[in-house]
């Protein structure tokens, strides 16, 4: 079809506009990938943000954390060694006997409360995090509290994974009191020495733990597919019931799996007009996992993960604008940050076979977390939580922070420890630039006046990084040479250092 003459100038202009960036990108693609020399410049006097961000992790209940597991002691020792605050603890749906304390409904004066399998792991968690703040989330509502065509069974073997326990979308008690009181009894069990059941019988636990935050449910956009209205009603009911037994408790709400798809959820939940009078909005939470397509190789994943991270960070900015407008005093924890490899897909199938991941994967995932942590700190997010302490085949192995065979921490764990030991709330972040986009750099000044630089490689290749004034400094790093060992340390003879593929490093400048 012939194009009208009047339209042709616009097409020519559009063609020029499209060609010029393409040529520039082509030129950049020729120059940048082969470059190994990276220059970092910092203006220590130009503060761009003051960090409020606490780096931490989540612990998800699964059989590998049970007493008697071959890695039980190592895993909990690793948790203790981190000394993190705001550690999130989540008994959840794949293991009903390890997560649900009342698997059968009360009937004929008899209840079925049973903490015999739940308490040991919870006790071990509380002991390992003693002296530090915690966020507990018993995320799974007893299935019998929902209306379903027939009862939903659970397996007699507590260690056998089951993915279909959370069925139904409508509560059998429309007032929500039944489910809300269930969580109040959980809180009373762990903080008040026990509780009184539905028929007036006292159950003693002997527990008097300090629980700083109670998170109300998990990934409700997936589990029971709750609308913002339903979840907000349940949040209010649960908070009211829990505060009746523990008035000092603070709460975390929302816990969305797909925040990119849920703008209305934030608009609704963060609006105090949609809550009962006096209901606190202490904190909200949501999650991020980078995840590749099934046919991607390690060569392409290094691009995918950081591109997805950048898109997520844009979503965080949007969510922050909603929070600051509607509920500026509400804090934010992004308490599941990680990567789910495509090798985990299909783990719910009986014929699933785990294909081992290359060692470089753990470094890539660790570098991803370091990048997201630093960028969240720039945005003023309160908590950045890596996911998760222990995973293994059938339980998201690619998300694990320890080797599920030996219990030894992997690179994801050591990156978290490196960040935790060097950065935290109160750090001033200064203007920093790296002249290549494949290396990320960010300068920090600690409250004690130490100057530190976080470096990370987004690519699986080695870069030579030069930093003005770095001669005589120390560098602590995690890369593919450190493997399952703690961060290594080296002294810099001059202003240059070697940053290996997917490496994460902290340079501590001389005072």
Same domain, 352 and 477: no
Task: Give pairs for 320-329: CB < 8 Å, separation 24+.
Answer: 320/379, 320/380, 320/381, 322/263, 322/266, 322/267, 322/270, 323/266, 323/270, 323/284, 326/267, 326/270, 326/271, 326/272, 327/270, 327/271, 327/272, 327/281, 329/281
C-alpha angle with apex 65: 389 to 93, nearest 5 degrees?
85
117 assigned to some structural domain: yes
Looking at residue 421, which CATH number applies to its domain?
A: 3.20.20.80
Confidence of residue 11 (pLDDT cuts 50, 70, 90): very low
For 450-493, write each residue's pLDDT tens digit. 999 999 999 999 999 999 999 999 999 999 999 999 999 999 99
Same domain, 84 and 157: yes
pLDDT of residue 231: 98
**Nearest in space to 263 (alpha carbons), one of 300, 317, 218:** 317
Same domain, 392 and 441: no
User: Does 206 score more than 70 pLDDT?
Assistant: yes
Same domain, 45 and 59: no
pLDDT of residue 259: 97
Q: Is the peptide bond before 388 cis (omega within 30 degrees of 0)?
A: yes
194 assigned to some structural domain: yes
pLDDT of residue 253: 98
Same domain, 436 and 390: no
Bridge partner residues of 289 (DSSP): 338
Counting the structural domains of the chain, the total is: 2
Same domain, 188 and 236: yes
Looking at residue 439, which CATH number applies to its domain?
A: 2.60.40.1180
pLDDT of residue 511: 87
Domain edge (last residue) among 425, 456, 487:
425
Share of the chain above pLDDT 90, in %: 90
Same domain, 355 and 457: no
441 assigned to some structural domain: yes
Domain coverage including residue 466: 33-49+429-508
User: Does 146 score more than 70 pLDDT?
Assistant: yes
Confidence of residue 23 (pLDDT cuts 50, 70, 90): very low
pLDDT of residue 357: 95
216 assigned to some structural domain: yes
CA distance 268 to 273: 9
| H/E element, 499 | strand 496-499
User: Does 19 score more than 60 pLDDT?
Assistant: no
338 near 393, Cβ under 8 Å?
Answer: no
Angstrom CA distances, 270 to 319, 324, 342, 479, stand at 10, 10, 34, 41
For 34-60, write each residue's pLDDT tens digit. 578 999 999 999 999 999 999 999 999
273 assigned to some structural domain: yes
pLDDT of residue 317: 98
Confidence of residue 350 (pLDDT cuts 50, 70, 90): confident
Share of the chain above pLDDT 70, in %: 93
For 60-93, write each residue's pLDDT tens digit. 999 999 999 999 999 999 999 999 999 999 999 9
pLDDT of residue 5: 33
User: Does 508 score more than 80 pLDDT?
Assistant: yes
Same domain, 330 and 472: no
Q: What is the mean pLDDT of residues 145-152?
A: 95
Same domain, 412 and 358: yes
User: Does 2 score more than 70 pLDDT?
Assistant: no
Question: Pick the residue with more confidence: 9 or 183?
Answer: 183
Same domain, 205 and 117: yes
User: Does 101 score more than 90 pLDDT?
Assistant: yes
Domain edge (last residue) among 398, 425, 452:
425
20 assigned to some structural domain: no
84 assigned to some structural domain: yes
User: Does 32 score more than 70 pLDDT?
Assistant: no
Same domain, 334 and 465: no
Same domain, 412 and 454: no
Domain edge (last residue) among 399, 425, 451:
425
Over the chain, what is the mean pLDDT?
93
CA distance 148 to 171: 9
9 assigned to some structural domain: no
Question: Pick the residue with more confidence: 346 or 439?
Answer: 439
**Can you read off the two tokens belonging to residue 149?**
């065509």
């Amino acid at each position: 079809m012939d194009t009208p003459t009047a339209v042709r100038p616009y097409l020519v202009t559009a063609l020029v506009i499209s060609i010029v960036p393409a040529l520039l990108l082509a030129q950049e693609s020729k120059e940048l990938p082969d470059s190994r020399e990276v220059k970092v410049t910092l203006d220590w006097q130009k503060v761009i943000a003051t960090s409020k961000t606490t780096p931490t992790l989540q612990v998800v209940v699964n059989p590998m954390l049970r007493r008697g597991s071959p890695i039980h002691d190592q895993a909990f020792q690793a948790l203790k060694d981190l000394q993190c605050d705001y550690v999130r603890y989540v008994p959840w749906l794949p293991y009903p006997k390890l997560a649900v304390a009342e698997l059968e409904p009360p009937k004929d004066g008899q209840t079925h409360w049973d903490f015999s399998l739940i308490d040991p792991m919870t006790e071990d968690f509380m002991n390992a995090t003693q002296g530090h703040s915690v966020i507990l989330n018993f995320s799974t509502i007893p299935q019998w509290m929902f209306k379903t065509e027939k009862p939903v069974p659970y397996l007699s073997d507590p260690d056998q994974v089951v993915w279909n326990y959370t069925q139904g979308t409508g509560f059998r008690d429309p007032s929500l009191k039944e489910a809300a009181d269930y969580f109040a009894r959980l809180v009373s069990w762990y903080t008040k020495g026990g509780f009184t059941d539905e028929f007036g019988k006292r159950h003693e636990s002997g527990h008097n733990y300090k629980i700083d935050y109670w998170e109300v449910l998990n990934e409700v956009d997936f589990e029971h597919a709750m609308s913002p209205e339903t979840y907000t009603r349940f949040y209010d009911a649960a908070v009211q019931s829990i505060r009746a037994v523990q008035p000092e408790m603070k709460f975390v709400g929302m816990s969305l799996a797909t925040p990119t798809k849920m703008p209305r959820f934030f608009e609704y939940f963060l609006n105090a007009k949609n809550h009962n009078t006096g209901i606190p909005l202490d904190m909200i939470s949501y999650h991020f996992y980078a995840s590749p397509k099934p046919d991607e190789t390690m060569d392409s994943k290094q691009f995918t993960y950081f591109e997805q991270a950048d898109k997520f960070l844009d979503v965080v900015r949007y969510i922050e604008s909603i929070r600051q407008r509607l509920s500026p005093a509400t804090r934010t924890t992004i308490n599941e940050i990680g990567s789910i490899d495509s090798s985990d897909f299909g783990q719910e199938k009986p014929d699933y076979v785990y294909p081992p991941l290359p060692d470089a994967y753990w470094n890539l995932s660790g570098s991803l977390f370091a990048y997201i942590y630093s960028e969240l700190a720039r945005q003023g997010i309160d908590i950045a939580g890596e996911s998760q302490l222990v995973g293994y085949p059938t339980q998201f192995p690619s998300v694990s922070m320890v080797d599920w065979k030996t219990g030894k921490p992997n690179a994801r764990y050591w990156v978290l420890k490196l960040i935790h030991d060097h950065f935290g709330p109160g750090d001033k972040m200064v203007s920093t630039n790296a002249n290549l986009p494949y290396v990320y750099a960010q300068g920090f000044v600690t409250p004690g006046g130490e100057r530190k630089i976080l470096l990370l490689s987004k690519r699986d290749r080695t870069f030579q990084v030069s930093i003005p004034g770095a001669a005589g400094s120390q560098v602590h790093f995690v890369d593919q040479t450190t493997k399952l060992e703690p961060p290594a340390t080296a002294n810099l003879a001059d202003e240059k250092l070697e940053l290996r593929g997917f490496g994460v490093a902290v340079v501590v400048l001389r005072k």
